[in-house]
Amino acid sequence: MKLTIVGTGYVGLVTGTCFAEMGHHVCCVDVDAEKIDLLRQGDVPIHEPGLEALVAENLEAGRLIFETSLPEAMKDVELLFIATGTPSDEDGSADLQHVLAVAREIGQNLSHYAVVIDKSTVPVGTAEMVRGVIASELKDRGVDIEFDVVSNPEFLKEGAAVEDFMRPDRIVVGTDSERASALMRRLYLPFNRNHDRTIFMGIRDAEMTKYAANAMLATKISFINEIACLCDRLDVDVENVRRGIGSDQRIGFHFIYPGCGYGGSCFPKDVKALVHTAKTAEFEPVLLNAVEERNRQQRKVLAGKIFEHFGTDLKGLRFGIWGLSFKPGTDDMREASSLGLIMSLVEAGANVSAYDPVAMDVSRTMFPKEWLESGRLVLAQHQYEAIDGVDAMVLVTEWKPFRSPDYAAMRRLMKQHLIFDGRNQYDPQLVKSEGFAYRGIGRRN
């Protein structure tokens, strides 16, 4: 099948590349000419395991191409994916300007029947808006061309997006058209060989499903973080509590790992958008408000523990940060817990050294230039360089290379032997036996 994917960000690039890998002919479109030039050379601008190799293979095979012109990319194509960004607006709502701009251009150039597929995460009712924009443009042109709009939300984890796309738990398709349903079923046929993973539903149902899924996962994280904060005050080890409740099959172990808050491009944005949607519908989302507030507070927990130990004046102290991205497996630092922590430490007078296995280039764009030039913030080239002469090491992102550190090297390098574990990655007793003081999240320090 011939597909056009509009938007070569995280969702669009993974979607287009994986469809090409399954044999479809895919054209990815973006208005950023510089990015398109890089992609044509196989240079992938995001870190996602396995993606760069797939892009190169499918470019060479001719199944994947990149263009800047949507009208050219629409020729003889029945499936048009909208995969543009929907960032949070000031009021928390999803900013749909890019989605609707693409819909407008589709309406201005549509010449035959096509299915327009919302792949971006969009609020309930967006498909109706997209349909209205396209219909309005067709009316202005004085033409009557049939088309359908479908909701097909993505459920990709950053750091495992290729695997998630190629082996999905479920494929959600929201449509009210039999013709569109048949095309979508054919499109996803290669992904259903073992068993049918496709769930067909109403368009608004599909739009809500995406938001509900992310809100549920965020809720689990905020719940266990709240329990961990309570454990801190009751002399309880939350790790034992986590294992105790996770063994209940009705609860499970997924997403009940306490830490220093969730971040990234999805959970914070989508919870805010769902809260805004609820309030627009004159419904007060009490639980979602609490999920968001707990996460705001949780992102301050590590800094709070550091201030509790050293006091609020950190002049003359240096801290080594391990992990800058919002989670392992990606270089994405949007809403990352490291941002607020480093800001708090530097503003309190501390110097900071930081290291991340893949996010170092991105990190240079995330902090004030004067911090980097003055040495208040040093972006180290190695994890052990980041802790040379520090008064404490602070684990923020639980990358695998950090899981079994060289404690002997750490003792030699660190000025004070103190670890703040923002992801409860380490065994407190082992850390203490190696000569370090330990501060975790709800770990009975």
Angle between helices 286-298 and 203-234 (to 10 degrees): 50
**Cβ distance 319 to 350 under 8 Å?**
yes
Q: How far apart are CA 55 and CA 38, in angstroms?
A: 11
Paired tokens of 38: 């890089």
Give the 3-state DSSP-derived string for the chain, with helices as H, strands as E and coil as C: CEEEEECCCHHHHHHHHHHHHCCCEEEEECCCHHHHHHHHCCCCCCCCCCHHHHHHHHHHHCCEEEECCHHHHCCCCCEEEECCCCCECCCCCECCHHHHHHHHHHHHHCCCCEEEEECCCCCCCHHHHHHHHHHHHHHHHCCCCCEEEEECCCCCCCCCHHHHHHCCCCEEEECCCHHHHHHHHHHCHHHHCCCCCEEEECHHHHHHHHHHHHHHHHHHHHHHHHHHHHHHHHCCEHHHHHHHHHCCCCCCCCCCCCCCCCCCCCHHHHHHHHHHHHHHCCCCCHHHHHHHHHHHHHCCHHHHHHHHHHCCCCCCCEEEEECCCCCCCCCCCCCCHHHHHHHHHHHCCCEEEEECCCCHHHHCCCCCHHHHHHCCEEECCCCCHHHCCCCEEEECCCCHHHCCCCHHHHHHHCCCCEEEECCCCCCHHHHHHCCCEEECCCECC
Tokens 């609820």 -> residue: 278
Is 260 part of the annotated catalytic residue set? no
CB count within 10 Å of CB 197 equals 15
- Choosing from 27, 231, 260, 266, the catalytic residue is 266
List all residues 6 or more positions away from 365 whose beta carbon is below 8 Å from its beta carbon.
none
List all residues 6 or more positions away from 128 whose beta carbon is below 8 Å from its beta carbon.
149, 203
Q: List residues with catalytic annotation.
A: 266
